[in-house]
């Protein structure tokens, strides 16, 4: 590979932003070489500079950004010295980019076809008719089923997955040598993401396009890339081939990242996550020496905090595995415990929640002409279709599903912001499904509290952190003494490991992780028996998410709280929960203990979902199931089984026309499907996790094994 001329070379690239506070170096001394057909992964947490690199390669840094040093060579020509016109000729034809939010990236008032045709029309000498044909062909190539409809559609008429396929098609239209992908699947649902990832992986084969894939998700990088660059605070700290870097991560930061991800080998009791201490330094407050040393467990004063550390080749491992650490040869990652210290498990107590055939239908008024003429102006949206499950004291129950599956509606009914249509939600002996929150007693309200998803929304920006926690104490306890309330808030801040002077801080002065901690303190302030956590860590960076996850489980363990964990991420769910409820379009497709869900028999939807979740462990084997089609709209669900339109195991018309029955595969393990259980039992496991003896990687899994680098 290395005898070819590289498509792109970045040499000593430094990029700064100029703000009111002065010059902020976003990326420093960045080296990168991309060969034709190769896929490079850039991975790192938010603020590490990975997107800045992409925009610098496109030479589109905006008015306040600029390249302060180094060069970007595209096929040997320095892009930093090109004229606007030369750049324009490269953009879109030689280098194309795919963005994080497909909807925002497409012009809302132009038809997709026209937006596609523009690319060849302005880069090649070609007639409108040829351009149209090319655009149509490329839509077929990106597997859009109805290219003519898409050509004539406005972006808002397509689903998120289709929009992203259009953007990818636009990028590929003039057959570029280099494709930049900036978090192309972050905004999509897991099963849709799997399809896009497959498409991206096929591109390099089919078009021989070199790609730079930017992501925060190590699992996705593993599935798509050949080589990977790990970035931290504006610089690359480690680079190498996927195999080499994922199997023997050398930099303490890379290693730490793997410790933060809930890999299949992690376990909340036996092998909990190991969060990285501290937080990412701001660009203008980077420490001297190694930028990571204040957070590193292996840092040695006098060596790590002195000079800027250069990249060093990792001898004995794969070619071009490089690491920016002065102590890489001394640190033996195999000696570390695979997970954090083991923690005691909680014994589940008595039943605290029983959801019994709970239904929630919304009435929707359709005011289109068609509806009025046919007299069907009132439709029912079946947000929750007959939910059944239980939760015990101290137990963690996860509700898993993609958007529109009804998990948030259920939370609303449980919290009393909506009332159920039918059935019951029993907490203790009381049916709460028909009690709105204002009709509940203070005890009933305080027993159920919630932790929210979005850290930027969870706290009221107008009030100090302390006053928001204090309000909960005042409402749910008889305490009136201001000093005692303040003391209690201080204690809660201690519990969530925040300094006490945060009492007086405004939410805008806090980072995302800190806000989530305050959110947790607020939820636990009234000593709730049950906490509903709605994707509490999905908006956080990996290392922060790990710390918040651990905090949540620690408090839960301490208080024997029941945790209802709502999530779309099966990795976290597997790590955290004792039992799982899998939902799709308002239905429970499958429920059971975590082991039962992750092993056959599966509901076909669970099977697809398991396959779709990327796992950042090269030794885990996964069966590939890519779903066709889109998530149906909740407004217009399939008549029979909700999954029948996409199900790879569909057995016939019965799936389309009749609601599937609940089948009990084992005590507590219920699968909602028409397929007989015997057949489902014969399905192979989706994920194969190697036993510790079979393993060689040091990335997260428990096992010491001969390490070529350490040996040399």
Residue 160 has, within 13 A of its CA and on its CB side, a CA count of 18
Closest CA to 611 of 600, 602, 623, 601: 623
Q: Give the per-residue contact string, 34-73, with other proteins (x = CB under 8 A; - = no).
A: ------------------------x-x--x----------
Q: Where are the beta strands (DSSP E) in 205-300?
A: 210-215, 227-232, 235-241
Q: Which of 443, 494, 624, 679 binds other proteins (CB under 8 A)?
A: 494
The answer to whether 83 contacts other proteins (rule: CB under 8 A) is no
Per CB under 8 A, contacts with other proteins among 264-293 are 279, 282, 285
Direct distance between the N- and C-terminal alpha carbons of the chain, in angstroms, rounded to an integer: 26
Q: How far apart, in whole angstroms, are the C-alpha atoms of residue 80 and residue 88?
A: 13
Number of shown-chain residues binding other proteins (CB under 8 A): 79
Task: Tell me which stretch binds other proteins (CB under 8 A): 307-315, 378-386, 467-475, 656-664.
Answer: 467-475
Smallest separation (angstroms) from other proteins to the CB of 441: 9
The answer to whether 364 contacts other proteins (rule: CB under 8 A) is no
Q: Which of 40, 42, 106, 135 binds other proteins (CB under 8 A)?
A: 106
Task: Tell me which stretch binds other proteins (CB under 8 A): 312-320, 363-371, 592-600, 628-636.
Answer: 363-371
The answer to whether 362 contacts other proteins (rule: CB under 8 A) is no
Q: Which of 442, 443, 623, 628 binds other proteins (CB under 8 A)?
A: 442
Q: Which of 77, 156, 206, 313 binds other proteins (CB under 8 A)?
A: 156
Cβ pair 264, 617 in contact under 8 A? yes
Smallest separation (angstroms) from other proteins to the CB of 450: 6
By beta-carbon proximity to other proteins, the closer residue of 244 and 468 is 468
Q: Which of 26, 450, 581, 665 binds other proteins (CB under 8 A)?
A: 450
Q: How far apart, in whole angstroms, are the C-alpha atoms of residue 549 and residue 575?
A: 10
- The set of residues, in sequence order, having a beta carbon less than 8 Å from that of 461 and lying 6+ positions away, is 506, 507, 508
By beta-carbon proximity to other proteins, the closer residue of 157 and 712 is 157
Bridge partner residues of 78 (DSSP): 73
In order, the DSSP letters of 354-385 are: EEEEEEEEEEEE--SHHHHHHT--EEEEEEEE
Q: How far apart, in whole angstroms, are the C-alpha atoms of residue 219 and residue 614?
A: 5
Task: Tell me which stretch binds other proteins (CB under 8 A): 266-274, 354-362, 436-444, 685-693.
Answer: 436-444
By beta-carbon proximity to other proteins, the closer residue of 83 and 691 is 83
The answer to whether 20 contacts other proteins (rule: CB under 8 A) is yes
Task: Tell me which stretch binds other proteins (CB under 8 A): 5-13, 32-40, 469-477, 672-680.
Answer: 469-477
Residue 696 has, within 13 A of its CA and on its CB side, a CA count of 11
Cβ pair 15, 49 in contact under 8 A? yes
Smallest separation (angstroms) from other proteins to the CB of 11: 23
Task: Tell me which stretch binds other proteins (CB under 8 A): 251-259, 313-321, 439-447, 661-669.
Answer: 439-447
Smallest separation (angstroms) from other proteins to the CB of 378: 16
By beta-carbon proximity to other proteins, the closer residue of 214 and 323 is 214
Cβ atoms < 10 Å from Cβ of 379: 15
Q: Which of 69, 71, 154, 207 binds other proteins (CB under 8 A)?
A: 154
Cβ pair 218, 576 in contact under 8 A? no
Give the angle subtended at the CA of 50 by the CAs of 45 and 54, to the nearest 5°: 155
Smallest separation (angstroms) from other proteins to the CB of 155: 9
By beta-carbon proximity to other proteins, the closer residue of 272 and 519 is 519
Smallest separation (angstroms) from other proteins to the CB of 534: 9
Smallest separation (angstroms) from other proteins to the CB of 167: 8
The answer to whether 449 contacts other proteins (rule: CB under 8 A) is yes
Closest CA to 230 of 253, 259, 262: 253
Per DSSP, the chain holds a count of helices (H) and strands (E) of 25, 26
The answer to whether 454 contacts other proteins (rule: CB under 8 A) is yes
475-495 as b/e: b if 16+ CB within 10 A: ebbeeeeeeebbebbbebbeb
The answer to whether 490 contacts other proteins (rule: CB under 8 A) is yes
The answer to whether 419 contacts other proteins (rule: CB under 8 A) is no
Cβ atoms < 10 Å from Cβ of 560: 14
The answer to whether 302 contacts other proteins (rule: CB under 8 A) is no
The answer to whether 77 contacts other proteins (rule: CB under 8 A) is no
The answer to whether 415 contacts other proteins (rule: CB under 8 A) is yes
Smallest separation (angstroms) from other proteins to the CB of 337: 25
Smallest separation (angstroms) from other proteins to the CB of 599: 35
Smallest separation (angstroms) from other proteins to the CB of 84: 8
The answer to whether 511 contacts other proteins (rule: CB under 8 A) is yes
Q: Which of 437, 626, 651, 654 binds other proteins (CB under 8 A)?
A: 437
Distance of CA 206 to the CA centre of its chain: 28
Q: How far apart, in whole angstroms, are the C-alpha atoms of residue 208 and residue 36?
A: 7
Backbone CA torsion sign across 616, 622, 624, 629: negative
Taking phi first (over 0 means left), then psi (-120 to 50 degrees means alpha), and beta for anything else, what does residue 586 get? Answer: left
Closest CA to 136 of 152, 154, 156: 152
The answer to whether 432 contacts other proteins (rule: CB under 8 A) is no
The answer to whether 119 contacts other proteins (rule: CB under 8 A) is yes
Smallest separation (angstroms) from other proteins to the CB of 691: 41
- Helices 604-612 and 190-207: angle between axes, nearest 10 degrees: 50
By beta-carbon proximity to other proteins, the closer residue of 290 and 459 is 459
Distance of CA 185 to the CA centre of its chain: 9
Q: Give the per-residue contact string, 570-609, with other proteins (x = CB under 8 A; - = no).
A: ----------------------------------------
- The set of residues, in sequence order, having a beta carbon less than 8 Å from that of 194 and lying 6+ positions away, is 611, 612, 625, 626, 627
The answer to whether 499 contacts other proteins (rule: CB under 8 A) is yes
Q: Give the per-residue contact string, 309-328, with other proteins (x = CB under 8 A; - = no).
A: --------------------
Q: How far apart, in whole angstroms, are the C-alpha atoms of residue 229 and residue 236?
A: 6
The answer to whether 110 contacts other proteins (rule: CB under 8 A) is yes
Smallest separation (angstroms) from other proteins to the CB of 559: 19
By beta-carbon proximity to other proteins, the closer residue of 280 and 686 is 280
Report the C-alpha dihedral over residues 443, 448, 453, 454, rounded to 10 degrees: 0
Per CB under 8 A, contacts with other proteins among 160-199 are 167, 170
Q: Which of 475, 639, 681, 688 binds other proteins (CB under 8 A)?
A: 475
Q: Which of 77, 88, 357, 639 binds other proteins (CB under 8 A)?
A: 88
The CA distances from residue 571 to 400, 402, 527, 614, in Å, are 11, 14, 28, 9
Closest CA to 668 of 585, 583, 581: 581
Q: How far apart, in whole angstroms, are the C-alpha atoms of residue 88 and residue 11?
A: 22
Cβ pair 12, 30 in contact under 8 A? yes
């Amino acid at each position: 590979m290395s005898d070819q001329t590289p498509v792109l070379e970045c040499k000593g690239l430094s990029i700064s932003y100029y703000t009111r506070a002065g010059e902020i170096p976003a990326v420093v001394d960045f080296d990168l070489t991309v060969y034709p057909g190769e896929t490079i992964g850039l991975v790192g947490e938010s603020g590490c500079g990975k997107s800045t690199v992409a925009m610098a390669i496109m030479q589109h840094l905006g008015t306040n950004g600029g390249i302060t040093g180094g060069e970007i060579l595209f096929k040997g020509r320095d892009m930093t010295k090109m004229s606007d016109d030369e750049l324009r000729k490269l953009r879109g034809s030689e280098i194309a980019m795919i963005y994080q939010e497909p909807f925002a990236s497409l012009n809302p008032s132009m038809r997709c076809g026209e937006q596609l045709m523009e690319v060849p029309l302005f880069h090649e000498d070609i007639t409108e008719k040829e351009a149209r044909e090319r655009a149509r062909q490329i839509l077929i190539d990106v597997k859009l089923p109805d290219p003519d409809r898409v050509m004539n559609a406005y972006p808002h008429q397509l689903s998120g997955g289709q929009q992203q396929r259009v953007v990818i098609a636009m990028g590929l239209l003039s057959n570029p040598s280099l494709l930049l992908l900036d978090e192309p699947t972050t905004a999509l649902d897991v099963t849709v993401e799997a399809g896009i990832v497959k498409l991206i992986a096929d591109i390099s084969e089919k078009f021989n396009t070199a790609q730079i894939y930017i992501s925060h998700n190590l699992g996705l990088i593993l599935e798509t890339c050949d080589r990977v660059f790990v970035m931290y605070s504006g610089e690359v700290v480690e680079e190498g081939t996927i195999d080499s870097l994922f199997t023997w991560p050398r930099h303490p930061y890379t290693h730490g990242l793997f410790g933060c991800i809930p890999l299949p080998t992690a376990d909340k009791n036996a092998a909990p996550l190991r969060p990285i201490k501290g937080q990412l330094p701001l660009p203008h407050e980077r420490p001297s020496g190694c930028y990571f040393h204040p957070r590193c467990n292996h840092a040695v004063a006098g060596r790590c905090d002195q000079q800027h550390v250069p990249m060093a080749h990792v001898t004995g491992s794969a070619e071009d595995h490089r690491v920016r650490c002065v102590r890489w040869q001394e640190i033996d990652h195999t000696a570390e415990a695979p997970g954090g210290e083991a923690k005691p498990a909680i014994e589940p107590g008595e039943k605290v929640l029983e959801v019994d055939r709970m239904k929630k239908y919304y009435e929707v008024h359709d005011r289109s002409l068609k509806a009025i003429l046919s007299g069907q102006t009132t439709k029912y949206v079946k947000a929750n279709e007959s939910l059944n499950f239980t939760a015990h004291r101290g137990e963690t129950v996860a509700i898993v599903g993609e958007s529109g599956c009804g998990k948030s509606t259920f939370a609303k009914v449980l919290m009393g912001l909506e009332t159920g249509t039918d059935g019951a939600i029993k907490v203790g002996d009381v049916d709460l499904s028909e009690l709105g929150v204002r009709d509940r007693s203070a005890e009933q309200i305080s027993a159920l509290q919630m932790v929210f998803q979005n850290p930027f929304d969870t706290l009221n920006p107008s009030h100090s952190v302390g006053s928001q926690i204090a309000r909960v104490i005042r409402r749910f306890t008889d305490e009136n003494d201001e000093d005692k309330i303040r003391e209690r808030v201080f204690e809660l801040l201690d519990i969530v490991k925040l300094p006490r002077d945060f009492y007086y801080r405004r939410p805008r002065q806090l980072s995302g992780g800190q806000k989530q901690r305050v959110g947790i303190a607020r939820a636990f302030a009234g000593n709730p028996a049950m906490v509903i956590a709605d994707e509490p860590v999905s908006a956080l960076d990996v290392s922060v998410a790990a710390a918040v996850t651990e905090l949540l489980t620690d408090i839960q363990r301490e208080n024997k709280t029941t945790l209802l964990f709502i999530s779309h991420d099966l990795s976290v769910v597997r790590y955290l929960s004792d039992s799982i409820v899998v939902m799709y379009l308002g239905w429970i497709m499958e429920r059971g203990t975590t082991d039962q869900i992750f092993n056959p028999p599966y509901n076909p939807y669970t099977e697809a979902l398991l396959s779709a979740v990327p796992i950042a462990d090269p030794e885990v084997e996964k069966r590939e199931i890519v779903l066709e089609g889109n998530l149906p709209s909740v407004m217009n669900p399939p008549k029979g089984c909700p999954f029948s339109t996409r199900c790879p195991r569909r057995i016939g018309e019965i799936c389309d026309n009749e609601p599937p029955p609940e089948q009990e595969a084992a005590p507590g393990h219920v699968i909602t499907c028409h397929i007989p259980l015997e057949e489902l039992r014969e399905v192979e496991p989706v994920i194969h996790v190697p036993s510790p003896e079979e393993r060689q990687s040091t990335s997260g899994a428990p096992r010491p094994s001969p390490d070529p680098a350490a040996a040399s």
